[in-house]
Chains A and B, each alone.
Chain A
Amino acid sequence: MNGGPKVVVVGAGLAGLTVAGALGPSASVTLIDRLPAAGGVLGYDHPAVISEVARVRAAGVRSLLGTTALRWVDSRLLVAGPGGIEWLAVDRLVFAGGARPAVPSELRLFGPRVAGVIAATVAVHLAEAEVAMGRDVCLLGVSDWAERAARILRHQGARLTGVSTEEGRPPVYGDQWWMGWQPVALEGTRRVTAVIVARGESRQRITCDTLVLAGDSRPLRNVDGAIAEGPGVDFAQRTADRQSIEEVRRHSLEIAGRIRDQIAAR
């Protein structure tokens, strides 16, 4: 445990762990995560997570797991967790909340309001709880989410059609892929029945009973006052749909280095 400025890192995935571990020696660091375990999407038992957790411990970082950061106002951070709801005095906030799939409005995917359109993150959770998601599933995007969703939905016996705006070789999961096509509209009256994809002037109609949003990832932002860049806030979040563990670590260490330099300069 160190003196120095108080830094809170929100998100104990690989990025947050790396930043917290790197800053531990030069600041008073608290690491927060909504979930009761560190690891984020990689999971608590991933080797990279296990070694970062050890580094974080050794660096004297305080952990507040099962705690949600809510809002950031005038160098105070409101958090809710097992310890109650409280304002922490914080000099600097590093938000490392991971990513989420783009939502329909971000994808400019229009059409009727139908059931059966679901984020991959949710589809995976529900499928793990034995909810039958659909027989004819359309996956939007090439990503880790798409792959996880594909694996579990395939296990449920679904037929999987993938759509990706990127050209190139289709992924190995999924029965069929439309590479280089842009989804533009949904069809259906109650439940989704099809997604319309476009490429230049041509349009194709892909029938499905479930549409899984799994691509074009966006940084997940949910701390009010720290949604966009601002004073005292840094973001350690991946932006590409796929990033290697090494890339995440390198990016996180860069951010930690920059913050450390700024702390030292004061």
Chain B
Amino acid sequence: MTPRPADQRFDVVVVGAGVIGTAIAARLSSTSARVCLLEATDDVAEGASKGNAGITSSYYAAPGTLESDVIATSYRRWDDVCRRLDVPFRRIGAVMAALTSDEADGLPGELANAKACGVAASIVSGDQARRLEPLIGPDCIQGLVLPDEGIIDPMRLCVGFAELAARNGVQVRFDSPVIDIESQDGRVVAVITPQARIETSFVVNAAGLFADQISELAGGTNFKMWPRKGEYWLIDRDWGRTLRHIVFAAPLPDSKGIHVVPTTNGTALLGPSVTDSDRRYDKTTDAEMLAHVTEKTKRLVPSVPMDRAIKAFAAIRPASEKKVRIEVDEVVPNLVHAINRSTGVSSSLGIADRVAELLAGAGLDLTVRTDALDHIPTVRRLLLDPEPETLAALDPRYTQVVCACEDVSAAEIQAALEMAVPARSIDGVRKRTRATAGRCQGSVCMAGVTFMCSLAQNRAPGDVVVTAAGTAGA
């Protein structure tokens, strides 16, 4: 279908292209609503939606809460959605490992809660837990098995949502921070970015950590967001792929603890730590915190090889008094908040549905379009394709392997540079293809990826953007 012509008047402006904003844009794109997605940075998944563990929870929050509701309306749908949006996903299940008798005493409560949420769960002995996941260590005395937990590539999920939205005519605009919001008679009428004044009937606030600022600009409810940092180790695929399940620690009163999580590309994540702060841009990793993460994970899975750590990184949860806020603003009737601190990935489908309901309830016409796409083209991947030997006939660029650690070919990188929501930086290529993300962290391929970006974007190699923070050259 042909995209709608660019215009400056929309039914809905969605602010923020994290997993929540992109999910909402994708959801609305199957309706008659005219939608614009505004993102401050140069790509999707630049905030919390980038550095998370990529767990699609089945059970996380107490039954009857908004959080457990939106997870419940999401978790069974991943197999289907990920197939349509070309997103790696595996429903591998999780074992929550109790290491002390106190922790074991907490498992029946967890089991009851999971069951009350309608989620499959069972308690097993330490030996049964180790039979299920042989990497679980001898300290585990009892386990709670959650077979419906899954792992997803959280960045590809954002890319998939945004790509579907864009192909269905949603305008996706990057480098477009919302810096002001105009109101009239208590309603939002226009959103201002440095480039444009955009009239709209509704605003959806999916600005994550900065959602309080959007609410303030709109004259809405006064609430405060703060950064809750989590640090991770990333362990080489050579070991990670031997891990078959997510291994959770038993939860503490205030946090879910430190886990060992396989990723869809075969690596494993250890973490996250929890640090509240007031520095919103602070993604600093620090030695002490990471040593703590190591110590905790070694008790769950003693064989984790720390000499195979390929990266340490931090991500920031958008924390607030409410863990989850999905509601029409108390003051401004055409402003809808969509914020989730810890389970935004797991609940993104449910949140998008609920936001659509709220918008419809507030008077937006959401007639279902019959011509909307429900999927995006699949890009076959050298690393994961079951029949790699057939790829060369499809596109000879599959034979040019640019990133040898992650088996990423020139065909895949070119596809990332040419999609409707294309990679605009080396990080953008990394999010879409994993090139430069392997054990050598780009020592070999970063220059090649830079040159491919330079050609596709018609700019000098020194002007190719590496991360949102800067270019390759100084």
Which A residues are within 8 Å of any B CB, using their own CB?
34, 68, 70-71, 78, 80-82, 84-87, 100-101, 103-106, 108, 110-116, 118-119, 121-122, 125-126, 129-135, 184-185, 189-191, 209-210, 213, 220-222, 224, 227-228
Contact = CB atoms under 8 A, between A and B. Distances in A.
Contacts of A191: 469-470, 474
A115 B471 contact: yes
B474 A220 contact: no
B409 A80 contact: yes
12 contacts: A70-B382, A80-B388, A115-B467, A122-B447, A122-B450, A131-B450, A132-B474, A134-B473, A135-B474, A189-B281, A222-B444, A227-B237
A52 to B, nearest CB: 22
A116 B470 contact: yes
Contact of A85 (B281, B388, B446): B388
A155 to B, nearest CB: 15
B462 A113 contact: no
B233 A103 contact: no
B193 interface: no
A106 B309 contact: yes
B407 A224 contact: yes
Contacts of B447: 121-122, 125-126, 129
B420 interface: no
Contacts, number: 159
Interface residues of B, number: 57
Contacts of B471: 115
B446 A118 contact: yes
B382 A131 contact: no
B240 to A, nearest CB: 11
A111 B284 contact: yes
Contact of A131 (B281, B307, B462): B462
A80 B382 contact: yes
B284 A110 contact: yes
B174 interface: no
B147 to A, nearest CB: 28
Given A119-B446, A131-B472, A84 B389 contact: yes
Contacts of A121: 443-444, 447
Contacts of B470: 114-116, 190-191
Interface stretch (B89-97, B251-259, B371-379, B397-405): B397-405
Contacts of B389: 78, 84-87
Interface stretch (B4-12, B33-41, B154-162, B434-442): B434-442
A122 B443 contact: yes
B399 A105 contact: no
B286 interface: yes
Nearest to B305: A228
Contacts of A220: 440, 443-444
Given A115-B470, A116-B474, A222-B440, A131 B461 contact: yes
Nearest to A103: B441
Interface string B147-181: 00000000000000000000000000000000000
Nearest to B443: A119
A82 B462 contact: no
Contacts of B469: 113-115, 189-191
